[in-house]
Structure 1
Amino acid sequence: MEVKMIDVSVHNGVIDWDKVKASGIGGVLMRCGYGSDIESQDDKMFKRNADECSRLGIPFGVYLYSYAKNTDMAKSEADHALRLVKGYKLSYPLYIDVEEASQSGIAKDVVKVFCEAVKAAGYMPGVYANENWWNNYLVGVDSYTKWVAKYGANNGQPGNKPNVSNFDIWQYTSKGSCDGIGSSGLDMNICYRDFPAELGGSKPAPAPAEKSNEEIANEVLAGTWGNGDDRKNRLSAAGYDYDAIQAIVNQKAAPAKKSNEEIAKEVLAGAWGNGDDRKNRLSAAGYDYDAIQAIVNQKAAPAKKSNEEIAKEVLAGKWGNNPQRKAKLEAAGYNYATIQALVNKMC
Structure 2
Amino acid sequence: MRITAIAVVLVLVIVLGAGAWWFRWVPEHRPPLDRATGEVHAIDVSNHQGTIDWGAVADDGIGAAMIKATEGNDYADPRFAENWEQSGGADIRRGAYHFFTLCSPGAEQAENFLRTAPPDPQALAPAVDLELIGSCEKRPSQSSVDGDLEDFRRIVEEAWQRPLLVYARGSFTSEYSIGALDDNPQWVTNFFVRPLDDGWTMWQVHYFAKVEGIDGDVDLDVLRTED
Q: Identify whether the pair has TM-score above 0.5, normalized to the shorter chain.
A: yes
Residue equivalent to 2:168: 129
Report runs of 4+ in structure 1 exceeding 6 Å deviation. Answer: none
Give distance in 1, aligned partners of 2:226 and 2:76: 28
CA contact (8 A) 1:29 1:62 kept: yes
User: How many Å apart are 1:30 and its aligned residue?
Assistant: 0.3
Question: Residues of 2 paired with 1:5 and 1:187: CA distance?
Answer: 8
Mapped partners of 2:113, 2:141: distance in 1: 21
**Is it true that 1:181 corresponds to 2:217 in the alignment?**
no
CA RMSD of aligned residues (A): 2.5
Bigger proportion of residues as strand: 2
In structure 1, stretches of 5+ residues that fail to align are 152-157, 196-347
* 1:23 equivalent in structure 2: 60
In structure 2, what is the Cα distance between the partners aligned to 1:142 and 1:129? Answer: 10
Aligned with 2:183 (options 123, 139, 143) = 143
In the other structure, the counterpart of 1:3 is 40
In structure 1, what residue type is equivalent to 2:155? A
1:161 to 191, 195, 199: 195
1:89: Cα distance to partner?
4.2
CA contact (8 A) 1:148 1:162 kept: no
1:161 to partner: Cα distance: 1.8
Task: State the Cα distance separating 1:166 from its structure 2 match.
Answer: 2.7
Do the aligned partners of 2:190 and 2:203 also contact (CA within 8 Å) in 1? yes
Aligned partner of 1:109 in structure 2 is 147
Q: 1:171 to 1:104 in 2, by over 3 A?
A: farther
Deviation string, structure 1 residues 200-225 (Cα, Å, up to 9, x no partner): xxxxxxxxxxxxxxxxxxxxxxxxxx
Give the match's secondary structure for 1:24. coil
Letter in 1 for 2:51: V
Q: What amino acid sits opposite 2:166 in the alignment?
A: V
Q: How far does the alpha carbon of each residue in 1:120-139 deviate from its partner, in whole angstroms, 9 at most, with x for none?
A: 11342222112564586225
Mapped contact 1:130–1:150 kept (Cα < 8 A): no
- TM-score, normalising length: structure 1: 0.48
Q: How many Å apart are 1:170 and its aligned residue? A: 1.2
Amino acid at match of 2:98: L
TM-score, structure 2 as length reference: 0.71
One of 42, 66, 74 as aligned partner of 2:106: 74
Range with bigger deviation, 120-129 or 8-17:
120-129
Q: Which amino acid aligns with 1:166?
A: G
CA contact (8 A) 1:61 1:90 kept: no
Q: Distance in 2 between matches of 1:139 and 1:172?
A: 25
CA contact 1:145–1:167 (8 Å) conserved in 2:
yes
Q: Percent identity over the alignment?
A: 23
CA offsets per residue over residues 156-212 of structure 1, 9 Å max, x none? xx225276x7321111211112100012x21111123425xxxxxxxxxxxxxxxxx
Give 1:172's match in structure 2, choosing from 196, 205, 218: 205
Q: From the CA coordinates, give the structure whose radius of gyration is larger.
A: 1
Task: Report the count of equivalent residues.
Answer: 182
